[in-house]
Structure 1
Amino acid sequence: MMTTETSISVLLSILIGIAAFCVWVIVFHQIKKHTSALHVRFSGQLVKVLIIIICLFHVISILSPENSLSRLLLGSSALIVAVIGFASQPVIADLICGFLISINKPFEIGDRIIVDGYEPGIVEDITLRHTVLTIYDGIRIIVPNSQLNSKVVYNTSYKKPNRGVHLQYSVSLDTNVPKAMDIIRDCVAASPYTRGVVRNNIDEDSGPVYFLKFSDSALILETTIQLPPTISTYIATTDINVRVLNAFRRNNIEIPYNYFNIIDKSVMVDDKSPDADRTVKPVLSVGSPRMRHYRTDTIYFADVSDPVASAMQLSRIFAKRERIDKNATAQIRLIVEEAVRMFSEMLLQYNASLYLEGSGQLCRIHIHIPIKVDLKRYQVLASLSDNVTDETKTGLYSKIQDVIYNGMKNLQQNKGSEYQWSVRDMTDKDSFSQEAISKSILVSLTDDIKVTVTRYYTEIVLLKNIS
């Protein structure tokens, strides 16, 4: 029968174990904010299990003093034999293989890998038994660690910031090959999702295109595109393939395919039949806005002669593509124009970029400023532009200055990996007055303005709901 003293000891052991587990969960959550290394993820999961096992053995030793921890682990040869036999089971195999993967690190969190027998995916997480891969449309593949450790893994992001994606195109035998290669490179460079490459210490806007082989009825051209870790492979590949297809058609470059001419003499078509010319035409809602996501190309302000005109052209393209009405189109154009004028000096100095994305219901205007965290440079950021036609020093102009400064300051003090701010999240004390709103086109026309400051860039996003 369990005594009161034993019951108290067991309860204390359980409470201490729960407390240790909770403390480690909090600490591990903070560690993950600063690093997403594979061995850190695996070690965190392993420590959780060890805490549970130690707590369990301690409770058993209290209930049965004769079965101490050392005796349980080393005193019984039968137990050792059982552990060795159990080590060959899949659970232990996955655990050991996960440990080996975390030590050898053939891939990291965020790498794009291809495992034999599985779809290509992005490494999202690793547990004691599985590695989680994300493929198209957010679908997760749970791969046992033992399989990853035994199969060939193709890592297109191994020890480099970008990841490579291989693309292949077929053209007819009479194609002007150098012209087709140039077209493919132009399409890759024009895509808003790709990054340039460095070859022979020279920056290039796209990688080379190779003519490597002949097929039965086509010439095969191949290239590799470079994508940042945050861009979906399927989105970027679709964008480039559409561009290449349209460019091939404009330049009369044929994509070969097999076809057959079949004549069936037993079937005679009666031209006088009332159903002979009857066709089914789809009904299209031409006037309604599109519900599909769309992203424009990216413009870099240092590369254009008139930043305002270039940004306005993007807004027109977005509005036409998403079938937005005249009133909403005028509002988006006004937001884009005022935003570019407001940040003109910063945009030109740091070769910032702008693009629009969203659908016929929501438009987001992204202003991306590639500037590393440096408080000394804030003196430049603080003098954004004195030619702002609509903003006042006490309104949005001044507020965004403070946001960028506070973001840089927090990052230099190692307070997280990024700093975020939103107009919607402002308190009543910090919110704009009615007078400031009436004087600000951006505050009055947008539904939200978000600012994200990281160690490598600052991004301003203006959101407009389209009713």
Structure 2
Amino acid sequence: MKELLSTYIDEIWHLPILIGVIILITIVIAGVTSRILNAIIKRNREAEDNDDVTSLVFFKRSIIVLIYLAGISFAIYMIPQLRVIAASLLAGAGLLAVAVGFASQAALSNVISGLFIVLFKPYKISDRIQVRTDLTGVVEDINLRHTVIRNFENKRIIIPNSVISNEVVINSNYEDNKICKWIDMGISYDSDIDLAKKIMKEEVLKHPHFVDVRTEEQIEAGDDIVPVRVVMMGESSVNLRAWSWASNPQDAFVMGCDLLESIKKRFDAEGIEIPFPYRTLVYKNDPPKSIESGENARS
């Protein structure tokens, strides 16, 4: 018995050292790989190559997970006792595998959806996107499980990849960053439409974020640099719209806010009225006495 115990101790004394070495090597490999990939990602960020940044960030996370899985698997393989236990568990784990498969279905779906997002690039890191009608922001991260969006209140919106891949995504940076910002203004029916259109065009042209997107053919054909048109005859206003272009969504938002203010001030100075909605009430019978008394009091 004593000899058997001595033999067993001789066989297992080195196992903690072996496990420690495997863990150390795994951590070192993962750390070195992470540093190398972080340096490459940083270089691509500085070059504003968001396509490569998106792919590299996803690849980095995937490769780190694989390194740790490989380290754990190797540690189990190098320990005979654990090998026997693992083989026994695998032999009778059919039912358990089915249960785990159902439980991990959502997680696997997120990973596959994340892979498709990185491969086909409907959006990438730093893109401004809108999901549904209530989620808008800039993509900060795409990992194995979810996409992180930073909205304009600096809050992080975390959306599972399987969810966002099944939604319609509006990408303001896809292929072309330029944005057409509509500037809508309503003027009274008594106001001078031509003067109002002239003011709107001048204010758009003066804004530093405005860009001319006309082609050479359009310029030669004499197309307006800033089209301003009547788009609707409202109940109490004539609605005008100016088409103003900016180089990116951020500039377009700032330009839109600035133009609403500057056009309003110009309209006030030039006597262009922006009307309030009003109603004319016609009574079939005599109005109630309470209304008559109120009107008499006001008069």
TM-score, length of structure 2 as denominator length: 0.71
Aligned partner of residue 109 in structure 2, secondary structure:
helix
- 1:222 maps to a residue whose letter is R
* Contact 1:166–1:225 (8 Å) recurs in 2: yes
Q: Tell me the CA shift for residue 99 of structure 1.
A: 1.8
Distance 1:166 1:4 in 2: 75
Aligned to 2:66: 50
1:374-412 CA deviation, whole Å, 9 max, x = no partner? xxxxxxxxxxxxxxxxxxxxxxxxxxxxxxxxxxxxxxx
Q: Tell me the CA shift for residue 9 of structure 1.
A: 2.2
Of 19, 36, 40 in structure 1, the residue corresponding to residue 50 of structure 2 is 36
Q: 1:150/1:62 Cα in 2 relative to 1: closer, same or farther (>3 Å)?
A: same
Distance 2:210 2:255 in 1: 7
Aligned to 1:255: 274
Distance 2:266 2:212 in 1: 20
Q: Tell me the CA shift for residue 159 of structure 1.
A: 0.2
Distance 2:86 2:57 in 1: 32
Distance 2:17 2:292 in 1: 91
Indicate whether 1:81 and 2:98 are aligned: yes
- 1:50 maps to a residue whose letter is L
Indicate whether 1:16 and 2:30 are aligned: no
1:343-385 CA deviation, whole Å, 9 max, x = no partner? xxxxxxxxxxxxxxxxxxxxxxxxxxxxxxxxxxxxxxxxxxx
Using the TM superposition, name which of 74-83 and 176-185 deviates more: 74-83
* Contact 1:211–1:221 (8 Å) recurs in 2: yes
| Larger Rg belongs to | 2
Of 91, 111, 117 in structure 1, the residue corresponding to residue 133 of structure 2 is 117
Aligned partner of residue 213 in structure 1, secondary structure:
strand
Q: 1:61/1:265 Cα in 2 relative to 1: closer, same or farther (>3 Å)?
A: same
Using the TM superposition, name which of 194-203 and 103-112 deviates more: 194-203
Of 4, 14, 26 in structure 1, the residue corresponding to residue 13 of structure 2 is 4
* Contact 1:122–1:135 (8 Å) recurs in 2: yes
Unaligned ranges ≥5, structure 1: 269-467
The 5-angstrom pairing of residues 369-388 of structure 1 reads none
Aligned to 1:316: none
Distance 2:169 2:218 in 1: 31
Aligned to 1:376: none
Aligned partner of residue 165 in structure 2, secondary structure:
helix
- 1:243 maps to a residue whose letter is S
Using the TM superposition, name which of 132-141 and 245-254 deviates more: 132-141
* Contact 1:113–1:123 (8 Å) recurs in 2: yes
Q: Tell me the CA shift for residue 194 of structure 1.
A: 3.5
* Contact 1:136–1:234 (8 Å) recurs in 2: no
Q: Tell me the CA shift for residue 206 of structure 1.
A: 5.6
Unaligned ranges ≥5, structure 2: 1-8, 281-290
Aligned to 1:126: 142
The 5-angstrom pairing of residues 321-332 of structure 1 reads none
**What RMSD over aligned residues (CA atoms) do the two structures have, in Å?**
3.8
Distance 1:210 1:120 in 2: 29
1:77-109 CA deviation, whole Å, 9 max, x = no partner? 4465245313432x3333222222112211232
* Contact 2:178–2:249 (8 Å) recurs in 1: no
* Contact 1:210–1:222 (8 Å) recurs in 2: yes
1:112-137 CA deviation, whole Å, 9 max, x = no partner? 22221324322232222332323324
Aligned to 2:78: 62
The total of aligned residue pairs comes to 266
Of 178, 202, 209 in structure 2, the residue corresponding to residue 186 of structure 1 is 202
Q: 1:12/1:202 Cα in 2 relative to 1: closer, same or farther (>3 Å)?
A: farther
Aligned to 2:231: 212
Distance 1:217 1:100 in 2: 51
1:195-230 CA deviation, whole Å, 9 max, x = no partner? 331335457996534433333333333345443448
Aligned to 2:286: none
Distance 2:262 2:153 in 1: 22
Aligned to 2:152: 136
Distance 2:90 2:133 in 1: 40
Q: 1:78/1:8 Cα in 2 relative to 1: closer, same or farther (>3 Å)?
A: farther
* Contact 1:189–1:205 (8 Å) recurs in 2: no
Q: 1:11/1:99 Cα in 2 relative to 1: closer, same or farther (>3 Å)?
A: same
* Contact 1:195–1:206 (8 Å) recurs in 2: no
Aligned to 1:334: none
Aligned partner of residue 211 in structure 1, secondary structure:
strand
* Contact 1:111–1:229 (8 Å) recurs in 2: no
Aligned partner of residue 150 in structure 1, secondary structure:
coil
Q: Which of the two has greater helix per residue?
A: 2
Q: Tell me the CA shift for residue 27 of structure 1.
A: 1.9
Distance 1:41 1:190 in 2: 41
The 5-angstrom pairing of residues 266-281 of structure 1 reads none
Distance 1:72 1:201 in 2: 73
Distance 2:98 2:203 in 1: 63
- 1:219 maps to a residue whose letter is V
Aligned residues with identical type, % of pairs? 26
Aligned partner of residue 255 in structure 1, secondary structure:
coil
* Contact 1:188–1:206 (8 Å) recurs in 2: no
